[in-house]
Structure 1
Amino acid sequence: MARVELEADRVSMQLSPLDEVLSLHGSLHIPYRHILAAHADPVPEAWFRGFRVGTNIPGVKVAGSFYNGEGAMFYDFHDPARCLTLELDHEHYRRVVVEVAHDQDAAALATQITARLPPAAG
């Protein structure tokens, strides 16, 4: 689980101490300019195929770095219905999926993040 904070120029995701251990990763800080999309769709049940570094106990906890044909992804969740997903560019991870803190709403955060994204070049 992560506490998501919207800062002036980036999204910060503070993992709980236990999740830092389980995921073998610390907090994440992602500039808005590197976020392609933010959404709160539930994580599909058959979401992962590939190599992982971290914890994957089906139905209990997923936390860590996962690698497949799409590239590197970071997951930290227990309840797939409470997840915020960020699709990224120019970052190590192509996707970050975290379960938000109990007092936060993933859909509201996704809307707020989307409003802060720079206009697409084109």
Structure 2
Amino acid sequence: MVTVQEQGDTVVFTVEGWHKLWAMRSELRIPRTHILGARRDPEASKAWGIRAPGTHIPGLLKAGTFYFDNTGDNKPTFLDVQHRENTVVIDLADEEYNRLIIEVADPDEVVALFGPAAAT
């Protein structure tokens, strides 16, 4: 699971617990202006891609950096999802990742924080 906290003009995404090990990241700091929007999408974590580095246990967990063929920009996606019903997709610009697919405690709160994102 990932917690989301605004710190001035930066948004801090903190990977919690053992997920730090599985995702091989503990935190992402992204300028607020680089966040294009957010949407709930429980199906987003089902996408198949090349894991580099990360963890994928089918039906249980997907965490880490993944490359997907359908993004068109050759940038990776960061994932950390165990319970798909709490999945939020956050679209990014001018960042290492093109989007974040993360599990959060309150998806509606995170979507409200960033506004709607265009469906990809």
Q: What's the secondary structure of 2:49's corresponding residue? A: coil
How far, CA to CA, are the matches of 2:45 and 2:99 in structure 1? 17
Q: Which 4+ stretches in 1 moved above 6 angstroms?
A: none
Quick check: which has more Rg, 1 or 2?
1
Q: How big is each residue's C-alpha offset from its partner over 1:61-109, in whole Å with a ceiling of 9 and x where there is no partner?
A: 11100013322000001111101211111000001111113xxx11221
Give the RMSD, CA atoms, in angstroms. 1.8
Q: Which residue of the partner structure matches residue 78 of structure 1?
A: 82
TM-score, normalised by the number of residues in structure 2: 0.82
Structure 1: gaps of 5 or more residues? 116-122
Compute the displacement of 1:44 (Å). 3.9
Structure 2: gaps of 5 or more residues? none
Q: Which residue of the partner structure matches residue 29 of structure 2?
A: 29
Q: Which residue of the partner structure matches residue 119 of structure 1?
A: none
Matches within 5 A, 1:13-28: 13-28=13-28
Give aligned-pair identity as a percent: 29
- How many positions carry a matched residue from both structures? 112
- Corresponding position: 1:64 with 2:75: no
Q: Contact 1:51–1:68 (CA<8 Å) still a contact in 2?
A: no
Q: From the superposition, tell whether residues 109 and 72 of structure 1 become closer, same or farther in structure 2 (CA, over 3 Å).
A: same
TM-score, normalised by the number of residues in structure 1: 0.81
